[in-house]
């Protein structure tokens, strides 16, 4: 819940403040640090599961129990929905002042629905947006798998939340233009559902050629692909990597032994 509260709040401040209270970088920091603090809050309780796509990827590759997946995803969606309601209550007067009480979705000039959910740029095709979500979430999964792999250069546990937050920040800084880098089905679907019932209506699901399904399916597929890449190219090959790194050292040691023996034989 804390992730979405910080994230949605950062978007609301930028949109309603018309650029006078932050910019897109502020939004990226809002989401990135939101993830960081969410990890610190729930890390030792739930393993900091805040993203259905990552939960599914962990079930696929890391032996997270499949029987727990529906429960975790339900909790993630519920937390995101509550965060959406909280941010709406905080900024309701600002929203009314901004749009005059007429709720709109992008690309309308006074749109406010994008405070909660992501929407594609007018130029973006569904296929390109779907690929965008696969790549963005794939990078997230790849980096998270690396950061929690103790066989790799994993940081201390107390630094992992900070670095995972920076991964989200970096994805926003590099792939935020096209469609707002949802990279998390709970971050998009539950807030979109809130806007559906809170006054924005069916355009929230119809907008962008029924865009709503892309930030659900794309991130799930992306997390599986990104996590799979790390597992196949790195984690499953640790024994092979270690053997190849140890062999040269052994050969060097043997060569040194031979040299020492030759020197001693010459002296004798």
Q: How far apart are CA 12 and CA 202, in angstroms?
A: 21
The H or E element spanning position 75 is helix 69-99
| Angle, alpha carbons 87-90-93 (nearest 5°) | 120
**How many residues are given for the chain?**
268
List, in order, residues 6 or more apart from 218 with CB less than 8 Å away.
129, 130, 131, 132, 133, 134, 137, 182
Domain boundaries, the chain: 1-258
pLDDT of residue 44: 78
| Residues 148, 62 contacting (CB under 8 angstroms) | no
| Interhelix angle 69-99/52-61, nearest 10 degrees | 160
Q: How far apart are CA 149 and CA 143, in angstroms?
A: 10
Which regions of the chain are under pLDDT 50? none
Assign 3-state DSSP to the chain and report helix, strand, coil percentages, each to 5.
75, 0, 25
| Residues 228, 61 contacting (CB under 8 angstroms) | yes
pLDDT of residue 42: 83
- CATH of range 1-258; options 3.40.50.20, 2.60.40.1260, 1.20.1080.10, 3.40.50.620: 1.20.1080.10
The H or E element spanning position 193 is helix 185-195
| Interhelix angle 2-16/185-195, nearest 10 degrees | 60
| Residues 121, 177 contacting (CB under 8 angstroms) | yes
Q: Say which DSSP state 48 is in.
A: S
Q: Encoding tokens for residue 10?
A: 């950062």
Annotate 177-216 with b (16+ C-beta within 10 A) or e (fewer): ebbbbbbbbbbbbbbbbbbbebbbeebbbebbeebbebbb
pTM strictly above 0.85 = yes
Which tens digit of pLDDT belongs to each residue from 240-261?
A: 777 776 555 555 555 665 565 5
List, in order, residues 6 or more apart from 162 with CB less than 8 Å away.
36
| Residues 111, 105 contacting (CB under 8 angstroms) | yes
């Amino acid at each position: 819940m804390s992730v979405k509260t910080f994230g949605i709040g950062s978007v609301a401040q930028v949109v309603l403040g018309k650029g006078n209270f932050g910019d897109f970088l502020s939004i990226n920091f809002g989401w990135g640090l939101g993830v960081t603090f969410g990890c610190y809050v729930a890390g030792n309780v739930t393993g900091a599961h805040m993203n259905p796509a990552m939960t599914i990827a962990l079930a696929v590759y890391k032996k997270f129990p499949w029987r727990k997946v529906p429960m975790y995803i339900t909790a993630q969606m519920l937390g995101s929905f509550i965060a959406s309601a909280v941010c709406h209550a905080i900024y309701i007067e600002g929203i009314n002042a901004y749009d005059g009480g007429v709720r709109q979705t992008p690309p309308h000039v006074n749109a406010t629905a994008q405070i909660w959910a992501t929407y594609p740029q007018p130029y973006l095709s569904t296929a390109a947006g779907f690929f965008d979500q696969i790549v963005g979430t794939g990078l997230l999964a790849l980096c998270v798998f690396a950061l929690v792999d103790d066989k790799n250069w994993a940081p201390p546990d107390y630094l992992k939340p900070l670095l995972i937050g920076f991964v989200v920040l970096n994805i926003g800084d590099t792939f935020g233009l096209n469609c707002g880098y949802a990279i998390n089905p709970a971050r998009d679907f539950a807030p979109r559902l809130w806007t559906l019932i809170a006054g924005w209506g069916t355009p929230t699901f119809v907008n962008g050629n029924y865009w709503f399904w892309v930030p659900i399916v794309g991130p799930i597929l992306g997390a599986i692909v990104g996590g799979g890449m790390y597992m196949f190219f790195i984690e499953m090959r640790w024994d092979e990597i270690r053997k190849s790194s140890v062999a040269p050292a052994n050969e060097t040691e043997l060569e040194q032994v031979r040299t020492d023996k030759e020197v001693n034989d010459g002296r004798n």
